[in-house]
Structure 1
Amino acid sequence: MGPKAAEDEVAVSRRAGEGLTLRAVLPNAITAAALCSGLTGIRFAIAGEWQAAVIAIILAGLLDGIDGRIARLLKAQSRFGAELDSLADSLSFGMAPAIILFLWTLEDLPRVGWFASLAFALCCALRLARFNARIDMDDQPHKSAGFLTGIPAPVGAGLAFLPFFLTMATDLDVFRDPLVNGIWVLVIAVLMISNVATLSWASIRPRRHIRLEIIAAAGLLFAALLLEPWWTLSALSMIYLLTLPFGALRYRKIRLQRAAR
């Protein structure tokens, strides 16, 4: 682990009481930057700068995706980093999106909207606590099969912003309806703490003969994010939602095969 082992990776144990090494400064600095980016999104939301607020959360997600990998590349895993990363994730992908969404639309239904925001932030914290509690456990059926349990926190934050993406892309206020957004946020909150098996990067193994096509698709995706960011983010969110039943069915098949053996 370090800053935190990804949910589809095996944690590396370290000696108890081992301090923070100098080479661990870089990955933990990236984690701190992700934390600051997520919290700065709240500042933008208070000022009504909605696009900047959501971009700050997306930037926090990108930083969160590289800090652990840099730590493993530098062999700078630490328990300090694991705890810092979980704290940063809870604030950047739980509390910050909840507040941004409340200020953007949910405050039009103060009681119901605040309840939905609280549920989202709470479920994000519970998910991270569950992951930390299981990080050293050997018996993890989903992880051993290359799957995750529920929706990861950064992905949950991105999906919660799907109505915002559609509003920015279409200029239609129908996607800003507070009741619809409140229900949507509750659904994503439940999916984060659910036991549904979801696909992980470890389970995606493209065949050799299509790797060039994947590289080309990645380049075109980056260009699409530059040209039409909100439509592209909306499409990515919808594609991920479509993978949920596929992941559940695929895991069920693997589980039945294991039971047969």
Structure 2
Amino acid sequence: MSDLFPPFAPDPDEPRKRLFKPVPFRVIVPNIITLIALCLGLTAIRLGFEGRYEPAVIAIVVAAFLDGVDGRVARLLKGTSRFGAELDSLADFVNFGVTPALILYSFILHELKALGWIAVLVFAIAMALRLARFNVMLDDPNRPEWQKNFFTGMPAPAGALTSLLPLYLSFLGVPVGAASAPIALIYLLGLAFLMVSTIPVYSGKTLGKNVPRHWVLPIFVLSVAAFGLLVSFPFEMLTVITILFLLTIPLSAARYRRLERADIRRPVAQETEPPPAA
């Protein structure tokens, strides 16, 4: 048998074959940011069930900030990937669907027992459906360019931050007890409806493209003032931002309808335009 299988000594100078292609570090960086945000969301659940609601809310706010950063970092470094997109959606479901709902249940909705838990389930499932629809709409090649300035339904981070309004109010001294539980339940279900609805919400993606020169310095001053107020009065600012955001949803819908009507009339106007004279 030794003649059939003679001993073989590999060439020491032969380069080793790589089983997998190396991954550029610029692709890894956005995923690290996403994973840090996911850790913050999971930690917020622990803090909520320990009764430490203020740091839990701050953890969710930081996770929402990182969620807005990771995609921009990926595009800046040209490190976008299908894996990163899927990881981001899964992290969003945990951070903005599961975490705020569980914190609200621990804070006030447990007073309603089964009804409170049903509201938690509805909110979390609505978040999952909203994220799935968002991923599908990204692949639509026929979507008009102006529609990219609007979200269909309330976006995931906004849904999470607005859902925590009862906690913001309690931090400001507003009494939020067992009697307020039905109001919190209706509020949470209303946000769940806004997330799965087709109500357009302005995304603000065009704000960073071109800024008139005379607006540069005022924007710097307003940004510094807003940051200072958010650091000094975090829950007051979060309350104001939440209320203003909810008030802008009808304005976004009205703006979307005007653009939609103008887009429908545009081809009709082009078809009825007489041909140029020879």
TM superposition score normalised by structure 2: 0.83
- Alignment match, 1:246: 251
1:115/1:219 CA distance change after superposition, 3 Å = same
Amino acid at match of 1:211: V
Unmatched 5+ stretches in structure 1: 1-17
The 5-angstrom pairing of residues 1-261 of structure 1 reads: 20-141=23-144, 144=147, 146-173=149-176, 177-204=180-207, 207-261=212-266
SS at match of 1:138: coil
- Would you say the 8 A contact 1:30–1:67 is kept in 2? yes
Is the CA contact 2:101–2:120 (under 8 Å) kept in the aligned structure 1? yes
Unaligned runs of 5+ in 2: 1-20, 267-278
Please give the alpha-carbon distance, in whole angstroms, between the structure 2 residues aligned to 1:249 and 1:206.
24
Cα displacement (A) at 1:226: 1.6
Aligned residue identity for 1:224: L
Distance 1:60 1:175, change over 3 A: farther
Report the structure number with the largest CA radius of gyration. Answer: 2
- Count of aligned pairs: 245
**1:62 and 1:164 mapped to 2: Cα distance?**
19
Residues 55-80 of structure 1 show CA distances to partners (whole Å, capped at 9, x for unaligned) of 11111101111011111111111111
Q: Measure, in 2, the Cα distance between the counterparts of 1:176 and 1:28.
A: 43
Larger relative contact order, structure 1 or 2 (CA cutoff 8 Å, min sep 6) = 1
Identical positions, percent: 42
After the TM superposition, which parts of structure 1 deviate over 6 Å for at least 4 consecutive aligned residues? Answer: none
- Aligned mates of 2:155, 2:145 — CA distance in 1: 13
1:151 deviation in Å? 0.8
Q: Which amino acid aligns with 1:227?
A: S
Q: Is the 8 A contact 2:149 2:203 kept in 1?
A: yes
SS in 2 for 1:98: helix
- Against the structure 1 CA distance between its residues 212 and 194, is the aligned structure 2 distance closer, same or farther, given a 3 Å change threshold? same
Aligned-partner Cα distance in 2 for 1:160–1:175: 17
Aligned-partner residue type, residue 243 of structure 1: T
- Compared CA separation, residues 120 and 126, structure 1 to 2 (3 A): same
Check conservation: 1:163, 1:175, Cα contact below 8 A: no
How far residue 140 of structure 1 moved from its aligned partner, in angstroms, is 2.9
AA of the residue aligned to 1:137:
D
**Contact kept? 2:108, 2:178, Cα under 8 Å:** no
CA distance in 2, matches of 1:214, 1:41: 33
Shift of 1:175: 9.5
**SS in structure 1 opposite 2:142?**
coil
